[in-house]
Structure 1
Amino acid sequence: MKRSILFDTETTGLDPATGDRVIEIAALELISDLPTGRTFHVLIDPERDIPPEASRIHGFTLDDLIGKPKFAEVADDFMAFIGDSELIAHNAAFDFGFINHELGRCGRPGVSTTRMVDTLAIAKERFPGLPNSLDALCRRFGIDLSERTTHNALLDCRLLAEVYLELMGGRQRGLGLADEGDSGMLAVRYPPVAHRTPRHVVPTRTELAAHAAFVGRLTDSVWTRTDDTPA
């Protein structure tokens, strides 16, 4: 089964080359495009200030992050969680850029962009000319956004997991996904079916004659075998 990791970052700004840093990483494991329940989530001390305009987006101030681990302290755990799986993100170049900049600061090799799956690029190809932000896609697919008051990375991952499933073809109509307890996997729940009384269908003489004529034109038909006829 295919394993992939869907992830998101929150940062102090837009450009790591000018000193912006990662303050939050969230990642979510998918098996065959469905969440397993395994997640990675950490808040990070950016070792610098957080501009007010960034705080208004993600809700974090520097006071929230004082005493949290530095990126170098969580790098091993993050790399172990993602393994060699493909990495899915919305506007993935942004998140890859920040993660690789942080890894470079630690003297570690970056993550290859050949592993990148960008849901924004997929959405733009599928819905050209339409808004394709995470919010816009959630509204388009009828995904509940009521909890998304700020850009919380773990919540964004959970929303993006639903968006990604829809972008990959969507759930079958009438099927629901439910948590399967300790297994961490998701189970398919079929909708309840009302009680139905079986109705026997009896063919007419015309239908029987048409069937007999059809069978008569077949070679070695299963309808004409006896119990002693070899299969």
Structure 2
Amino acid sequence: MGTLRMGALTRRRVGMRAADLEYAVLDMETTGLEPREGARIVEIAVVRVRGDGKVVEEFSTLVDPRAEVGGREFHGIGEGDTVGAPVIAQVVPRLAELLSGAVVVSHNLDFELRFLGSELVPAGLPTGQSGLCTLRALRSQIDLDRYSLPKASFRLGGDWPTGQHTALGDARACAKLLAEMIANAPGELRYNGPAPRTLAVPEAAPVRGPWGVVEPVRWKPRTASVPGGLAPLSPWRADWRPRELDALLCGGAFGATDRAIAELAAQRDTRFRERLATAAAVTGGIAATAAGGLLVRMAGSRATGSAIARRAVAAREALRGRTG
């Protein structure tokens, strides 16, 4: 949708060291699955975290969707919970501050992208920030039977994440999963994508009270921040793929057919890279042989030139002797 410039995690020597970057881990609770069918954001959270798992800042608030609050059976948010919460246009400036200079991350970022494009960008959120999907990253790098956020967290770290189906709880779980992935990789993970950039923060929309007086925005968090940041990172006992898959092929349901297609593409890519390396080695060998021959010829030329010069000097000396 053009709202984010997507990147991926890789063990290849390209891009930027993942541990050196900061990430804005984003999660939303919504009234439905499809903005095209009227679904709206009802809660939003961001965990700003460094590549080593150190939390920089957390933010969450309920959002007044100005519509019926559906999906309560999933997120537990009722009509009364959003009374007095800010509307989405009032959240955008704060969100821009948190996303600025960071890679925007979510587990199944394709879902968040739909609401970024339908609500947040029209409300003034700048576009073009870097993006990363941890769901695609896990599928690309690690062989698991299931990749949902809670099941992957339990399978890899041994603990079920707390605060499931709250925006801040899920954002924390995703941030921890990302930091553990970077820390436990068998080789250095790198972010292969556009560098994060500083965003222009839009002005906050004025909030007018009952008497027309402009009032400050009042956040309405459902979940309190935990002192100390994320829980300690877990050592993984993961089956890392010998050949990483293309993250672009790791979306959707990712069933058996999707996996087979991605694995076949990875095999072809590996063979192609091996042929390139072989060709480079052969070319380099030919070039080295040619260069060596050239050096030998140059050395021979220099030696011949030195001998001629010595004979010329000797001839001049002999001539001086006869004329003297």
State the TM bucket, normalised to the shorter chain: 0.5 to 0.7
Alignment partners' CA distance in 2, 1:83 and 1:13: 28
Alignment partners' CA distance in 1, 2:76 and 2:55: 28
Give 1:111 shift.
3.0
Alignment partners' CA distance in 2, 1:16 and 1:48: 12
Over 3 Å counting, the alpha-carbon distance change for 1:100 and 1:143 in structure 2 is: farther
Over 3 Å counting, the alpha-carbon distance change for 1:146 and 1:82 in structure 2 is: closer
Structure 1 runs of 4+ off > 4 angstroms?
Answer: none
The alignment status of 1:123 with 2:100, answered yes or no, reads no
| Residues 75-130 of structure 1: per-residue CA shift (max 9 Å, x gap) | 11111121131111000011122123112432x25533x61100000111234462
Match of 2:148 in 1: 133
Alignment partners' CA distance in 1, 2:96 and 2:117: 11
SS at match of 1:123: helix
Alignment partners' CA distance in 2, 1:129 and 1:145: 16
Answer whether contact 1:57 1:151 (CA < 8 A) is retained.
yes
Pick one of 73, 87, 93 that aligns with 2:104: 87
Alignment partners' CA distance in 2, 1:75 and 1:137: 31
Match of 2:167 in 1: 153
RMSD: 2.7
Match of 1:142 in 2: 157
Pick one of 24, 34, 40 that aligns with 2:43: 24
Answer whether contact 2:35 2:118 (CA < 8 A) is retained.
yes
Unpaired segments ≥5 residues, structure 1: 173-181, 189-231
Unpaired segments ≥5 residues, structure 2: 1-19, 187-226, 233-324
TM-score under structure 2 length normalisation: 0.48
Alignment partners' CA distance in 2, 1:10 and 1:33: 27
Alignment partners' CA distance in 2, 1:109 and 1:74: 9
More helix by share: 2
| Residues 132-191 of structure 1: per-residue CA shift (max 9 Å, x gap) | 00011111123432634x40111111111221122224299xxxxxxxxx9x788x9xxx
Give the count of matched residue pairs: 173
Answer whether contact 1:6 1:30 (CA < 8 A) is retained.
yes
Match of 1:77 in 2: 94
Alignment partners' CA distance in 2, 1:13 and 1:96: 14
SS at match of 1:84: coil
Alignment partners' CA distance in 2, 1:34 and 1:127: 20
Pick one of 162, 169, 179 that aligns with 1:165: 179
TM-score under structure 1 length normalisation: 0.66
Pick one of 101, 111, 115 that aligns with 2:127: 111
Match of 2:274 in 1: none
Answer whether contact 2:153 2:161 (CA < 8 A) is retained.
no
The alignment status of 1:62 with 2:79, answered yes or no, reads yes
- The one-letter code of the counterpart of 1:83 is S
Q: Which has the higher contact order (CA 8 A, sep 6+)?
A: 2
Answer whether contact 2:63 2:87 (CA < 8 A) is retained.
yes
Give 1:37 shift.
4.4
Answer whether contact 1:4 1:33 (CA < 8 A) is retained.
no
- The one-letter code of the counterpart of 1:145 is W
Answer whether contact 1:27 1:41 (CA < 8 A) is retained.
yes
Answer whether contact 2:72 2:78 (CA < 8 A) is retained.
yes
Match of 2:57 in 1: 38
Percentage identity across paired residues of the two chains = 27
Answer whether contact 2:29 2:43 (CA < 8 A) is retained.
yes
Answer whether contact 1:28 1:157 (CA < 8 A) is retained.
yes
SS at match of 2:172: helix
Answer whether contact 2:27 2:167 (CA < 8 A) is retained.
yes
